[in-house]
Amino acid sequence: MRKNSAVAGLALAVLLSVAGVGAARATDDEACKVIRMSDPGWTDITATNAVASVMLAALGYETDIKTLSVPIGYESMKNKEIDVFLGNWMPAQNAFIEDLKKADAVEIVNRNLEGAKFTLAVPSYAADKGIKNFSDLQKHGDEFERLIYGIEAGAPANTSIQKMIDTNDFGLGNWQLVESSEQAMLSQVERAAEKKTLIVFLAWAPHPMNNRFEITYLSGGDAYFGPNYGGAEVYTLARTGWTKTCPNAATFLRKLSFNIAMENTLMGKILEGEDPKEAAAAWLKDHPQSLERWLAGVTTFDGGPGLDSVKVSLGL
């Protein structure tokens, strides 16, 4: 009887030992400890990258975020220099994705946002003058100075606008696209709003511009931006092979999703000058219910309980 007890005790000790080793062992390859991400310089992606970074740091990972235009960012994924991108706006970026799929360069990890939209807009006082459709712009060309304000060079939306101009669609053949940063574009909108002068520009949701300005999205641009005012979904992408090498981090990113109200809030804080990671950490503290959904089945890099680690890091 004592012999059987001793054997059972030894077996239990071995099981506990094995369990202990398993708990301490990382589920991801060592190369996964640093996750390389890109940001086109858009505040929405800055915000979502910050949310991911705060939680990944608590899980024992590091994020290396590089500011790259959309084309350069995708080329970097193809060259295996970027691991993850949280800003694949579809269908606006479809041409890029088709190219990457042909090269077997990326895989879709998750749809992280629904209900987005992205098309041309005007201040609502312009809509009050009857400017509500793309076809209404050319009637007021002089007042608009025949300028359409876009975002950074190389952005797919800018390409769509330039195509519209090149083909003289809506009578816009003698108009000019002004390429600039998101912030520079919005500064131009603010100056126009102060003087009540006409301006047409790229607008999208989520973005605090929808709260900051009274704007009207223009109808009629389906051929360039898609239906429902450029209705969009945003996807998380990973370079091909990354999810297999880094299954734990991939599990987290498959669960990580956002909503319009959340992003509007975070983006507003960032545009007011708050550090993105501090804004993200504050939001997470105020919405701890999101953590359980995002971290179900996720461990730390070393194999520990992920949810507990993130809560401790946030002071919850």
How is the chain split into domains, by residue range?
29-115+232-314, 116-229
For the chain, the maximum distance between any two Cα atoms, rounded to a whole number of angstroms, is 99
- How large is the average pLDDT for residues 120-143? 97
pTM, rounded to two decimals: 0.76
Closest CA to 281 of 67, 61, 56, 111: 56
Please tell me the predicted confidence (pLDDT) of residue 6.
Answer: 41
The residue with tokens 């007042």 is 143
The pLDDT of residue 85 is above 90 = yes
Q: What residues are paired with 215 via a beta bridge?
A: 123
- Side-chain-side CA neighbours of 122 within 13 Å: the count stands at 25
Tens-digit pLDDT profile for residues 290-308? 999 999 999 999 999 999 9
Please tell me the predicted confidence (pLDDT) of residue 160.
Answer: 93
Please tell me the predicted confidence (pLDDT) of residue 156.
Answer: 84
Tens-digit pLDDT profile for residues 221-252? 999 998 999 998 999 999 999 999 999 999 99
Closest CA to 32 of 243, 203, 274, 233: 243
Tokens standing for residue 177: 């696209």
- How large is the average pLDDT for residues 98-107? 93
Q: What residues are paired with 118 via a beta bridge?
A: 204
Closest CA to 208 of 235, 232, 189: 189
Considering only the top CATH level, what class is 29-115+232-314? Answer: alpha beta
Cβ neighbors of 108 (< 8 A, separation 6 or more) are: 88, 235, 236, 237
The reply to whether omega before 91 is within 30° of 0 (cis) is yes
Strand 62-67 relative to strand 106-123: parallel, antiparallel, unpaired?
Answer: unpaired
The residue with tokens 């879709």 is 108
Cβ neighbors of 293 (< 8 A, separation 6 or more) are: 255
Angle CA(75)–CA(259)–CA(110) in degrees, nearest 5?
45
**Mean of the per-residue pLDDT values of the chain:** 90
Give the domain 116-229 fold. Answer: D-Maltodextrin-Binding Protein; domain 2 (3.40.190)
The rounded distance, in Å, linking the Cα atoms of 197 and 204 is: 21
Asked, colleague to colleague, whether 29-115+232-314 and 116-229 share their fold, the answer is yes
Helix (H, G, I), strand (E, B) or coil at 51: helix
> 299 and 252 in contact (C-beta within 8 Å)?
no
